């Protein structure tokens, strides 16, 4: 495999804006002169169930899907969904998890503890980072759905993804329609000022 290929899987729940953030990342890759591909699903699979998109960029990309165990970065917008994405994660490739500390209960099932999830993820990852993105965006910006844009911006600022904040910012401006742009830029800036130790 080409060393410059970078593989991202994004998981979450329908309605969390996965498709938008996937497109922003792809746009940013294109702005950096890279080849890129994404894959997404529409229709039934968007109705509040588990959702997953994939994104790859590099010098020349063929498949839009990330292969089993082949994700460099997994962005999970919900705690339990992170477990489902382990299909794409492996210690061999050194998968990095960026997880939104947010739980949407599954009706009739008890919510697993954060520590339980972290333990399970260990077998599949090099490093796991949790951020309370939903809470933060709700608290500071009044909109939970901005968690996604916050997380990809954070990934860029903290070098978890080889795409510069400048490109991400440009891509946000290109992909987000006018009336929502301002809030999304706020989410970007919130990520810029957010500190955590890796």
Partner 1 sequence: MEKVLLKKSAKKILLLGNEAIVRGALESGVKFVSTYPGTPASEIGNTFFKIQNSKSKIQDLHFEFSTNEKVALEAAAGASFSGLKSLVAMKHFGLNVASDFLIPLCYSGIKGGQVLVVADDPSCWSSAQSEQSTRAFAYLAHIPILEPSDPQECKEFTKLAFQLSEKFKIPIMLRETTRVALQTAPVKLGKIVRGKTKAKFVKDPHRFSTMPPRVLEMKRELLEKIEKIKRVSEKSPLNQIHRGRVSGKSKMGIITSGISYLYVIEALKELNLEIPVLKLGFFYPLPEKKIQQFIKSLKKVLVVEELEPFLEKEVERLAKDINPLVEIFGKNLLSEIGELKPEDVILALTRFSNKKPKFNFTNHLKKFQNLKLKKRFPQLCPGCPYWLIFQSVKRAAPKGTIFGGEIGCYMLAAYPPHYLQDYLFCMGSSAGIAHGIKKALRRGSDETEKQKVIAFVGDSSFFHAGIPALINTVYNKSNPLIIIMDNKTTAMTGQQPHPGAPAEDKGIEIEDIVRAVGVKNVKVIDPVNLRELEKTVKEFLNKKEVSVIIARRPCIQISK
Q: Counting contacts by CB under 8 A, is residue 180 touching partner 1?
A: no
CA 108 to chain centre: 27
Which residues on neighbouring strands pair with residue 127, listed in sequence order? 96
Region from 65-73, 128-136, 141-149, 151-159 binding partner 1, contact rule CB under 8 A: 65-73
Shortest gap between Cβ of 193 and partner 1 (angstroms)? 29
Among 4, 9, 32, 45, binds partner 1 (CB under 8 A): 45
Shortest gap between Cβ of 100 and partner 1 (angstroms)? 15
Q: Counting contacts by CB under 8 A, is residue 18 touching partner 1?
A: no
Residue 164 · residue 135 · CB < 8 Å: no
**For partner 1, which is the closer residue by CB, 68 or 139?**
68
Q: Counting contacts by CB under 8 A, is residue 43 touching partner 1?
A: yes
Size of the site for partner 1 (CB under 8 A): 49
Query: Which DSSP string do the residues of 129-170 spell out, in sequence order?
Result: EEE-HHHHHHHHHS-GGGHHHHHHHHHHHTTSSSS-HHHHHH
* Helices (H) then strands (E): counts for the chain: 7, 6
**For partner 1, which is the closer residue by CB, 2 or 115?**
2
Binding residues for partner 1 restricted to 79-138, rule: CB under 8 A:
80-81, 83-84, 86-87, 90, 92, 106-109, 120, 123-124
Tokens at residue 188, please? Answer: 């970007």
Tokens at residue 14, please? Answer: 């329908």
**For partner 1, which is the closer residue by CB, 126 or 140?**
126
Q: Counting contacts by CB under 8 A, is residue 76 touching partner 1?
A: no
Query: Which DSSP string do the residues of 15-26 spell out, in sequence order?
Result: TS-HHHHHHHHH
């Amino acid at each position: 495999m080409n060393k410059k290929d970078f593989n991202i899987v994004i998981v979450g729940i329908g309605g969390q804006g996965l498709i938008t953030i996937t497109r922003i990342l792809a746009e940013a890759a294109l702005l950096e002169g890279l080849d890129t591909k994404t894959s997404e699903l529409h229709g039934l699979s968007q109705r509040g169930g588990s959702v997953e998109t994939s994104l790859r960029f590099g010098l020349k990309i063929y498949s839009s899907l990330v292969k089993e165990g082949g994700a460099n970065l997994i962005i999970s917008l919900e705690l339990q969904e992170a477990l489902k994405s382990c299909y794409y994660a492996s210690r061999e490739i050194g998968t990095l998890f960026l997880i939104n500390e947010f739980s949407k209960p599954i009706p009739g099932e008890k919510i697993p503890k954060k520590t339980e999830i972290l333990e399970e993820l260990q077998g599949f990852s090099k490093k796991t980072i949790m951020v309370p993105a939903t809470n933060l965006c709700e608290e500071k910006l009044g909109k939970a759905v901005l968690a996604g844009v916050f997380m990809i911006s954070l990934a860029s600022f903290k070098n978890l993804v080889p795409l510069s904040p400048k490109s991400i910012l440009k891509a946000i401006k290109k992909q987000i329609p006018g009336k929502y742009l301002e809030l999304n830029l706020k989410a970007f800036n919130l990520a810029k000022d957010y500190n955590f130790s890796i």
